[in-house]
Structure formats: C-alpha cells, structure tokens
Structure 1
Amino acid sequence: MEHVLHREPSSSLPTVRDVAWHRPFAWLRAGWRDLVRQPGLALGYGGFVALAGWILLTVAWTGAAHLVPALLGGFLLVAPIVAVGLYAIAQQLEETGRVSTSQAAVATRPHLPMLALFGLVLALALIAWERVAAIVFALSYGGEVPALERFAAELLTVPAHRDALLALVAAGALFALAVYASGVVAAPMIYHRGSDPVTAIVTSWRVCLRNAAAALVWAVCLALLVALGFATLMLGLVVVFPWLAFASWHAYRDLVG
C-alpha cells in the first residue's frame, strides 16, 4: 500500500496521507504522461512562461544585476499560481481523459479571489527576499551596483564577495524552505477545494512534517529540474514548467485526502 490516511482532530483541516519517500518519482511519471497526452497546450503554456522569464532576467542582467537572485527566487514563488491553468487541465485528464480549455478557464474563475490572496502572501515573501538580497549586495559593494562583467568576474575570486555569495545562498535557502513548506500543495488545494490560504498553507506544512523524506526528495526534484530550465536560458522551462505543474497536481491528489 503506497500511503495511509492520517486524520487530525480538527474537522476544518483535510486529511493528510503518509506516503513513501519515493512517491515523488511516481508524481513525475504521472505528470509526464499528462504532458504527452496534451503536448500542444502544455508546451504552449511552458513557452509563455519561459519567454516571460527570459525577458525579465534579460532586463535585470543588463540593468540591475543585483536583482537577479531575487528574480530567480521570485520565479519559484509565483510559479504555483501561474500553474493553476495546468492544474485544471490535469484534473480534466484525471476525470474524463479529455480537455476543454474553456471549461478549464471557467473552473479556475470561482477561486481567483483566494488564489489572489495566496499570491499576495507570496508577493510579500518576494519583497522580503528582494530586500535581503539587496542588503547583502549593499554590504558587499558599499552601495554601488556592480556592472555585470565586474560582478561575474569578482563573485568567485574576491573573498569578501564569496562570503556575500554564501550569505545570499544561506538566506535564499531559508526563504525557499519556508515558502516550499507553505506552498507544496497550497495552490492546487485552493483551486480544487476553494480553501482559504491559511488552511492551504497549514495543510502544506502538515504534509511536509508528516512526510519529511518524500518532501525532501520532491524539493530536490523541483530544484534540479528548475535549475535545468534556468541553465538553458529558460528554454528548458518550455518542457519543465508544465511537467512540474502536472506532477504537482498529482502530488496534491496523493498527499491530501
């Protein structure tokens, strides 16, 4: 048996399932099957996200290199909200095996207020992360924003800048951990159940605490695949983004009863 049910005393919170540490690989396989079944819609969605990310990062690299870490982190923060349309497609494939884009759009509409509220929470987290990144750069460069060429050349060669990079990575890891634990199933849950953001975030934390091993494996899978998308100058996100969105839907369905 792949998972067992765990019921909490509070009736306001949904059931959380215990799953084996290797279940994330099953979510990835299920997400890939969905992508193959609807390649046109999925890749079109991914292409739009990849293009938007490429434009955003290109502008930052050429005009404000110090914002790049914050923007990369921001992409990860808003990705669950952007993927809501793909959750609707995955739900249709699960229930009927057929996809109607008009029905998918209608299905997301009633939950837009709660999704927007959850998006506001993520936006506040992004603002906090951007401020932390800016402070680290200010301490490292004395308030001067470095040119891209100088920044790239000095980042790994100047000890003080290496320390700044380590501080940035450490701060980013803490933010990423908190946001990941808050959102691992939150957006699909808000879309599917119409839950409020607080209930969805609490449920996400319960999922991670009860399934620490699976949550860690899933986080590593997400990080590696998203890093692949970034490393290919966003081109890889054309495939990676819809794949992970579909897989995240299956993760939610597996983890929340």
Structure 2
Amino acid sequence: MSQQIDTGTAAEGPVFPTVREVDAGAPLRWIGRGIGDLRACPIPSLFFGFCFAAMGLLVTMVFEHAYEYTAAMTSGFLLLGPFLAMGLYELSRQREQGRACALLPALAVWRRNAGNIGIFAIVLGVIFLVWARASLVIFALFYTNELPNLSGFLNQLVAFENLEFLLVYFGVGLMFACIVFAASVISVPLMLDRDQDAITSMLASIAALARNPGAMLVWASIIVILTLIGFLSFHLGLVVLMPVVGHASWHAYRDLVAPAADTSSPAPTR
C-alpha cells in the first residue's frame, strides 16, 4: 500500500504537491518508459541528445590541456542536467496528452513558467560556480603529481594514483551532487506542468527524496552510470542515453507526485 504526504490546504492559491511513495524498482520502469518516448519521438529527442554530446565534446576540446577545469565542467554537466532537459520533459508531456511530438514547442517550453524556471536556473548556476571553485581549490591543495594532459590525468585516476586527492575530490563532489539531486528530482517538471513556484517545487523534490530514499538511490545510481557510459564512449553515448534519462525523469515526476485533481490516488505500478 503506497503512502503519501499531503500538506495542501483548502486556501486559495497553489497547494503543496502530494508526494507519493514508490518501490525501489520504480526507476527501472521509468527508464523503460523513457525508452518508449525516445522510440515514439526519435527526431526531436535525438536533437537534444546531440546537443548534450556537443556540449561534452566542446568542454573536452576547449580544456584539453587544463584538466582541472574539464573535471569541474564535466561535473557541472550533471548539476545543470535537470535544467537542460526541459525540452525532453515537454516531449514526454506531448506524447502523454496524445499530441504529436513537436520540437519547436519543446525548445520554447521554458516560457511557460519563465520567472520560476529562471530562479531555479540561478540556484543551480550558483551551486555550479561554487563547485567549480571548490574543484580548483581541491586540485591546488591535494593534487601532487605532475600536471599532465587530460588523457594522462584519466590514466592516473584509473590507476588510483594520488588516492588522497581522489577521496577528497569525489567526497566534496558527492556532497554537491546530493544537494542538487535533492532539489531537482521533480522540481522542473512540476514547474512546467503546474506553473508551480520554484521554492515549493524544490521543497516537494526534497520531500520526494526523503519519502523514497531507496528508489532515489537507485535512480541516482542509474543516472550516474548512464552519464559515465556516455562520456566514456567519447560522448557518442550521450546522444541516446541523455534523452532516455530526460524522458524517464518526466515519468519519475508522474509517479512521485499525485495529479492535482486527485491527491488521493496511489502511485502507479505499471
């Protein structure tokens, strides 16, 4: 039996979303539905996938001989992912409503709730800048090897050289990633779907994480693994994997938040 959090009131104005409890296997179903959306909307979905891949390649090319910047920018790729995937959320929403998948409306979807999406983007941007600065400080304090190019740096990581640096870098990075993940699991889809304000959307996202720690751990692990596969495949994997993750994130929102018209409905199990 699924359980819910319902903190909405009868007062006028937007009510706090009802957060539902899902099982730990739900993320696998979200990925399956994401693959279904990609198959149903291949051209617009792959357009966004190519954009993700192009961004990854650009970062690598520009900072090829300054790997400390590449590491920060690549990590920031994950931090800014929820904002960059808005068009994929809209494509899933179009299909859900029985409409044809259209790229142009997906590109302009941010206009639906521009003010609050802008606030959320600023929050993510600030976190990204703080992380980028923290990344450089960690390199300065803990990285003791000779400064190689990017490929040499990756070889050192694989060989577990400079273990103290690795522990500190990934520990601090994990902290930033957890903050962003908690605030963004369902926040952008919620703002797009219901014109919800940014603060309420982020609080609802944190509530979803608190209510479903097992499912969210599985979901975060899937996102990280698929993203790593995308980068390790010379960014080509991002063309397909990022659209799947983006579409799946929309279905995660649908499972985790009860419909506005029916706050008593249980979480879907399909």
TM-score by length of 1: 0.90
1: distance between equivalents of 2:71 and 2:110?
31
Alignment of 1:119 with 2:121, yes or no, is yes
Match of 2:221 in 1: 220
Distance of aligned partners of 1:44 and 1:207 in 2 relative to their CA distance in 1, 3 Å threshold: same
Note the C-alpha offset of 1:41.
1.1
Alignment of 1:38 with 2:41, yes or no, is yes
1: distance between equivalents of 2:153 and 2:32?
40
Aligned residues: 253
Note the C-alpha offset of 1:78.
1.0
Deviations 1:23-42 (A, max 9, x none): 11111111100000111111
Note the C-alpha offset of 1:52.
1.6
* Runs of 5+ unmatched residues, structure 1: none
Deviations 1:58-88 (A, max 9, x none): 21122x2111221121101111111111111
Is the 8 Å Cα contact of residues 44 and 102 (structure 2) preserved in structure 1? no
2: distance between equivalents of 1:89 and 1:10?
32
CA RMSD of aligned residues (A): 2.2
Note the C-alpha offset of 1:152.
4.7
* Runs of 5+ unmatched residues, structure 2: 259-270
Match of 1:177 in 2: 178
Alignment of 1:51 with 2:24, yes or no, is no
Note the C-alpha offset of 1:150.
5.8
Match of 2:24 in 1: 21
Aligned amino acid, residue 23 of structure 1 = A
Note the C-alpha offset of 1:237.
0.4
SS at match of 2:101: coil
Alignment of 1:60 with 2:59, yes or no, is no
Alignment of 1:75 with 2:74, yes or no, is no
Match of 1:135 in 2: 137
Aligned amino acid, residue 69 of structure 1 = A
Note the C-alpha offset of 1:101.
3.0
Aligned amino acid, residue 5 of structure 2 = H
Deviations 1:179-214 (A, max 9, x none): 111111111111112222211111111000001111
Aligned amino acid, residue 48 of structure 1 = C
1: distance between equivalents of 2:46 and 2:156?
38
2: distance between equivalents of 1:157 and 1:101?
44
**Which of the two has greater helix per residue?**
1
1: distance between equivalents of 2:123 and 2:81?
13
Match of 1:147 in 2: 148
Match of 1:237 in 2: 238
Query: Percent of aligned pairs with the same residue?
Result: 32
